[in-house]
Structure formats: C-alpha cells, structure tokens
Amino acid sequence: MDEPHSLAVVVAHPDDDAYGCAGSIAMHENDPGFRFCLILATDGGAGQIAEGVPTTPQGLGAWRRKESVNAWRAHGTIPDRHEWLDYADGHLAEVDFEELVRRILAILLEERPQVVVTFGPDGITGHRDHIAVGRATDEAFIRARQVPGPGLKRLVHGALRASTFERWNQSRQQQGMEPWDPAREYHLRPVPDELIDIDVDTHHVAHRIVAGLLEHKSQRHVIVDPGVNERRWARIVSRESSVMVWPPRPPGSQLLKDLFEGL
C-alpha cells in the first residue's frame, strides 16, 4: 500500500512558507491521509513593520505568530503540526549548528514526512537565516534517512527560475525601481532554468496562495512590490519551482510536475 502524502516545510520566518509550496499544499489537502508539518525557526520579530500595522518592534514577533496562523486559515489548509523553534530572528546563523540539526532531526523522525521542503544554499534572497535553516535541514534529512522507517523520500529546495528573475527585473526597471542584485543580501537569487527539477502549475489555487499572503500584513511591503494588485499577485504565484536535492533527478528525465510525483 502506498504511503499517504505528507510534507514538512522547514523555514526561518513566518511568511517564508506562504509562497513556493503553498499551492502544492492546497492541491494535495484532500489526499487521503495527507499531513502537513510546518517548522518555523524564528518568529520574525526583527522584521520591518508596514505602515498602518498596529504593532511595535517589541511586539512584532507575537504579531507575526498571529499572522502565520491567520495566513494558513485564510489559505484554507491549517498545518497538522505548527512548530516554533523560538530562535532570535536575524541570529540563526549564530546558533550552534549541531543543536539546530538535532532539533529539526527530532521532528523529522517523529513525523517521517515523504517530502521535506526548505531553502537551498542561496536562501532565495541570500538571507543568512534562510541559509542557516536550509543547511541544518539538509543535514537533519541525511541523518533521518539513516534511521529505518517510512517516509523521507525526497528533499527539495525552493527556487526562483532565472528566466522568471530576468522578467521580474525588467519589469522593475521599466517602473523605475531598483533591480534585484543577486550579490546583495535580501535580494532575490535566481537558479538557472536547467537546474530546476520540479515545476508545479498552481494557477487554479493561486487565489488561495494570495489569500494567505495577504494576512502577512506587517510584511506586505517586503513580500511584493508596491502597487501589485491581487490579480497580478495571483499570476506571480501561479507556478512553484524547486530543485530536487535528494534523490537527484536522473539526467535527461522530464521535469516533475508535482512535489509527490513518482513517490
């Protein structure tokens, strides 16, 4: 009998989980036995605060925890397990690596999800917290696989296609905005199209991705460029691309169209 589809998303901040895999989660929520585990390393308490959001720097972490809960409620799929590791935002790279690996490993061994999604070495934006949690998750996945049992069949890194990056940058320049510079922290980092292994068409659930993103009100100005309306936002999130770290996709094989394809 095939294992039920299950997924663990391991990221650094609230809203890191709101794009990149939220569409895939919506597409599988009705699968028999589907389980979604969300692991957040920090509460994002060192982030910026969008104009009009009634919180303070001291209260931002608690505010963003609520945003995270509200976002998944708006999205329509509430995580079966919503785990906070409670590290300080912006300081994840300073955490003892072995400690971080052990904490993630403990959850992966309890859950044994089929697919684990995290950041790659580029952190998508070069954010040091993203890079730290991705590196620790990769190591935790490797160690978890050494313990016999079900699941742990695929490790995936979220990614931004280079062709998409170029299109977005052209649009930014046409609007007189500063282009993304991959050499700078907090700026988007593209992955060459030929290195993308999974490309999911999420256009029919894009409105749900946007509904979740809209709940991250404190970070709206960080998540999306000014002036982007909900219809445009839905087009932006209508595809989810990722790199399959383990097992590697056989050379010459077709792109996968789903996180669980072939499992």
The pLDDT value recorded for residue 227 is 81
Structure tokens at 111: 């859950």
The pLDDT value recorded for residue 19 is 86
Question: Which residues is 42 bridged to in the sheet?
Answer: 87
The pLDDT value recorded for residue 190 is 96
**Other beta carbons within 10 Å of 195:** 14
The pLDDT value recorded for residue 185 is 92
The CA R_g of the chain, rounded to the nearest whole Å, is: 18
CA 33 to CA 81: how far, in whole Å? 14
CA 192 to CA 31: how far, in whole Å? 32
The pLDDT value recorded for residue 255 is 96
Q: Spell out the residues 6+ positions from residue 123 whose beta carbon is closer than 8 angstroms to its own.
A: 129, 130, 131, 134, 189
pTM, whole model, 2 decimals? Answer: 0.96
Q: What is the residue-level pLDDT of the chain in tens, covering all 263 positions? A: 478 999 999 999 999 999 899 999 999 999 999 999 999 999 999 999 999 999 999 999 999 999 999 999 999 999 999 999 999 999 999 999 999 999 999 999 999 999 999 999 999 999 999 999 999 999 999 999 999 999 999 999 999 999 999 999 998 998 898 999 999 999 999 999 999 999 999 999 999 999 999 999 999 988 988 888 999 999 999 999 999 999 999 988 999 999 999 99
The pLDDT value recorded for residue 228 is 86
The DSSP annotation for 44-76 comes to: -TTS---TT----TTTHHHHHHHHHHHHHHHHT
**Residue 61 zone, left/alpha/beta (φ > 0; ψ -120 to 50; rest):** alpha
The pLDDT value recorded for residue 86 is 98
The pLDDT value recorded for residue 167 is 94
51 exposed, middle or buried (CB, 10 Å; 0-12, 13-18, 19+)? Answer: exposed
Dihedrals phi, psi of 191, to nearest 5 degrees: -115, 130
Question: Helix 128-145 and helix 97-111: axis angle, to 10°?
Answer: 50
